[in-house]
Amino acid sequence: MAKNLTGRLIDGKLHRPKRQLAMVFDLNKCLGCHTCAIACKTQWTREEGQQDMWWTLVNTLPGEGSPKGWEQMGGGFDAQNAARAGRIPRKTDYGEHMDFNHDEVFKEGKAQTVHFHPKTPSGKPPAWGANWDEDHGGGEYPNSYYFYLPRLCNHCTHPACLEACPRGAISKREKDGIVLINEKRCKGYRFCVEACPYKRIYFNPLQDLSQKCIFCFPRVEKGVAPACVRQCPGRMRFFGYLDDQDGPIHQLVEKWKIALPLHAEYHTQPNVYYVPPLSPPKVDAAGNLTDEPRIPIEYLRSLFGPRVDEVLATLQREMDRKARGEKSELLDALIVYRWPEDIFPGFGKDPLTLERAK
């Protein structure tokens, strides 16, 4: 089998869809506010059996993420394009549904004596949850750094989920590369869940089928940006076609080469890219600025691969240019406050976007 595939092998031939929609997340701008996750949830996952589904979520790093320990669960392909063994996350890896004692604190007049604490249906203290690393602080104490990593289905060019489904229930659209599960064909076998190395497919036990992010294709087909992109107050999500040379995706991924895939070693060729986080300056005990990076570079390499050094150096170089009052075309492309209709021509039809943009 061919190494370094840049498409799927179909009948022995390499195949890519005609066009590919993709996202770039600038991790330097993510606020960790979860507006994206709520925008997605209120739009798509309100049916029975979807209560605990988060097709897009934001993990606090370092941490174990959601489902807990997903980076160690396997899936994807090896460099020879052979499927790697994966496992299905356990229910406990997603954590128990939890709520807080809001009524007790806010409505029963006990605010002086009672503090917020989580409640679970079982009555036991929760052991894990979708936002656990944020709520409890990720990494080992004293962890002096953290950053946010939004995650969703990567609409991979070589989707392990698609290859794994014996029912042929998963397809990749020719016109835009969106990966979809056909719910009429799906019988809940969950080989797709095993195979996805990003563990971005959820099993719906009440409907006995699997579900995941659909890249908001019904919105996209109406010229409206995906809900998470549209609602992100940090404007850290860029969306568009990889081959649109004037668009942000092409510029950030291909021209400037500062957006990197997450865990490319799974060989699924993900189409969600990340601008890695620059460490804020570190101050030593005497109050002097040090050269030591706050976020260990090895950790960033483990997520985004060896090119992360070069990308961070480029970002720093451009920041220094800006600080000297020089123009930086790259930072202008990255930092400028943009509305979705600016970053994806044709998406200006969204009436809400137009109204808010005035």
Long-range Cβ pairs for the range 43-52 (8 Å, 24+): 43/216, 43/227, 44/214, 44/227, 45/211, 47/204, 47/207, 48/206, 48/207, 49/204, 49/205, 49/206, 49/207, 50/202, 50/204, 50/211, 51/97, 52/94, 52/97, 52/130, 52/202
- Distance, in Å, from the CA atom of 298 to the CA atom of 308, rounded to the nearest integer, reads 10
170 binds ligand F3S (CB under 6 A): yes
Q: Which of 21, 53, 186, 196 is close enough to bind ligand SF4 by CB under 6 A? A: 196
181 binds, among ligand SF4, ligand F3S, none (CB under 5 to 8 A by kind): ligand F3S
Which is closer to ligand F3S, CB of 39 or CB of 181?
181
Which is closer to ligand SF4, CB of 146 or CB of 270?
270
191 binds, among ligand SF4, ligand F3S, none (CB under 5 to 8 A by kind): ligand F3S
Q: Which of 20, 56, 59, 154 is close enough to bind ligand SF4 by CB under 6 A? A: 154
159 binds ligand SF4 (CB under 6 A): yes
Q: Which of 197, 232, 202 is nearest to 214 (CA)?
A: 202
Name the segment binding ligand F3S (CB under 6 A); options: 96-104, 128-136, 181-189, 247-255.
Answer: 181-189
What residues contact residue 194 under an 8 Å CB cut-off, 6+ apart? Answer: 74, 75, 86, 87, 88, 164
- Distance, in Å, from the CA atom of 239 to the CA atom of 324, rounded to the nearest integer, reads 31
CB of 235 to ligand F3S, least distance (A): 34
CB of 98 to ligand SF4, least distance (A): 26
What residues contact residue 5 under an 8 Å CB cut-off, 6+ apart? Answer: 14, 81, 158, 267, 269
- Distance, in Å, from the CA atom of 341 to the CA atom of 225, rounded to the nearest integer, reads 8
160 binds ligand SF4 (CB under 6 A): yes
**Site residues for ligand SF4, window 262-301 (CB under 6 A)?**
268
Q: What is the DSSP letter of 61?
A: E
CB of 36 to ligand SF4, least distance (A): 17
161 binds ligand SF4 (CB under 6 A): yes
Which is closer to ligand SF4, CB of 172 or CB of 341?
172
169 binds ligand F3S (CB under 6 A): yes
Which is closer to ligand SF4, CB of 41 or CB of 155?
155
Helix H or strand E encompassing 291: none
61 binds, among ligand SF4, ligand F3S, none (CB under 5 to 8 A by kind): none
165 binds ligand F3S (CB under 6 A): yes
What are the strands, taking DSSP E only, across the chain? Answer: 8-10, 13-15, 21-26, 57-61, 99-100, 118-119, 147-151, 170-172, 179-181, 202-204, 209-211, 237-241, 260-261, 272-275, 282-283, 289-290
167 binds ligand F3S (CB under 6 A): yes
Name the segment binding ligand F3S (CB under 6 A); options: 72-80, 82-90, 102-110, 179-187.
Answer: 179-187
**x-marked contacts with ligand F3S along 188-227 as a string, rule CB under 6 A:** xxxxx----------------xx-----------------
Which is closer to ligand SF4, CB of 155 or CB of 250?
155
Q: Which of 67, 62, 110 is nearest to 86 (CA)?
A: 67
**Site residues for ligand SF4, window 172-191 (CB under 6 A)?**
179
Residues near ligand F3S (CB under 6 A) are: 164-165, 167, 169-170, 181, 186-192, 209-210
